């Protein structure tokens, strides 16, 4: 069966695309232009009832949540995922932290630095400052986790894919391990293959 990913330039579908590239799985990528409202068509609603991205069609089913996509791919492929139950518990802790706390705050930066810029509006600096303050304890946790290792669990895993798309839009000065982790992820071939198009060169 063909694996089909419906996505956009936004972070959540990019997590899944990055994972597919890392796993070297053949897949069809369908760009859903949210700016043009293509997610609101009847055809797409039949795939994703909430009319959002990503939607991953795989193994005669559809996964709608980026974290669910990553967990499913880990179970399916039995690669880029810890082998021990203790390691898997750690992986799930970090994966669910991203979905339950990290992305809600980080999305302020993506929205203001990427989306607002693309539609010709001025970023809300105050909103980003408030989000940055709340992100600091999470940055500290990540910084500590990366103290003696290149990736969150030591070796690269699909958990790194959950955080990777956020890192270029965030203010990480003062967290050197996070900066090195970001640069390491962006240097991977999968990053280039995923065609990240944030256009941040002069966004700040």
pLDDT of residue 92: 98
Sheet containing strand 27-31, edge to edge, reads 27-31, 3-7, 55-58, 61-63
In the predicted model, is pLDDT for residue 15 greater than 70?
A: yes
Report all structural domains of the chain as residue ranges with CATH numbers, in order of start.
Answer: 3-77 (3.40.30.10), 85-188 (1.20.1050.10)
Flag whether pLDDT at 164 surpasses 70: yes
Any alpha helices (H) in 30-169, and if so which ranges?
42-45, 66-77, 85-97, 103-110, 116-118, 125-145, 158-163
Look at residue 200 in the predicted model and tell me its pLDDT.
Answer: 60
Q: What pLDDT does residue 204 have?
A: 34
How distant, in Å, are the alpha carbons of 44, 82, 131, 172, 179 from that of 165?
A: 24, 22, 17, 14, 13
Q: What pLDDT is attached to residue 198? A: 79
In the predicted model, is pLDDT for residue 46 greater than 50? Answer: yes
Amino acid 196: pLDDT: 87
Separation between Cα atoms, residue 72 and residue 31, nearest integer Å: 22
Pairing of strands 61-63, 55-58: antiparallel
Q: What distance in Å separates the CA atoms of residue 125 and residue 147, rounded to the nearest whole number? A: 30
- In percent, how much of the chain has pLDDT > 90? 92
Instruction: Examine the pLDDT at 203 and tell me if it is beyond 50.
Output: no
Question: In the prediction, which pLDDT does 199 show?
Answer: 65
pLDDT, tens digit, 9 for 90 and up, residues 68-96 = 999 999 999 999 999 999 999 999 999 99
* Total residues found in the chain within this entry: 204
Quote the pTM value.
Answer: 0.94
Question: Above 50 in pLDDT, residue 202?
Answer: no
The dihedral region occupied by 144, where left means phi > 0, alpha psi between -120 and 50, and beta the remainder, is: alpha
Comparing C-alpha atoms, which of 136, 68, 62, 127 is closest to residue 102? 136
Q: Using one digit for the tens of pLDDT, what is the confidence trace for 105-160?
A: 999 999 999 999 889 999 999 999 999 999 999 999 999 999 999 999 999 999 99
**pLDDT above 60: residue 35:** yes
């Amino acid at each position: 069966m063909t694996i089909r990913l419906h996505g956009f330039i936004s972070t959540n579908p990019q997590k899944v695309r990055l994972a597919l590239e890392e796993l070297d799985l053949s897949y069809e990528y369908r760009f859903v232009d949210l700016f043009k409202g293509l997610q609101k068509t009847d055809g797409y609603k039949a795939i994703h009832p909430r009319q959002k991205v990503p939607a991953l069609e795989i193994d005669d089913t559809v996964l709608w949540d980026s974290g669910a996509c990553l967990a499913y791919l880990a179970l399916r492929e039995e690669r880029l995922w810890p082998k021990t139950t203790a390691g898997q518990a750690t992986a799930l802790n970090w994966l669910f932290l991203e979905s339950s706390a990290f992305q809600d705050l980080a999305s302020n930066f993506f929205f203001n630095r990427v989306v607002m810029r693309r539609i010709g509006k001025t970023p809300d600096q105050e909103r980003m400052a408030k989000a940055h303050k709340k992100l600091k304890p999470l940055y500290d946790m990540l910084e500590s986790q990366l103290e003696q290792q290149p990736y969150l669990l030591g070796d690269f895993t699909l958990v790194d894919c959950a955080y990777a798309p956020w890192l270029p839009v965030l203010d990480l000065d003062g967290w050197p391990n996070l900066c090195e982790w970001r640069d390491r992820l962006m240097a991977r071939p999968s990053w280039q293959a995923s065609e990240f198009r944030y256009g941040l060169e002069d966004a700040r």
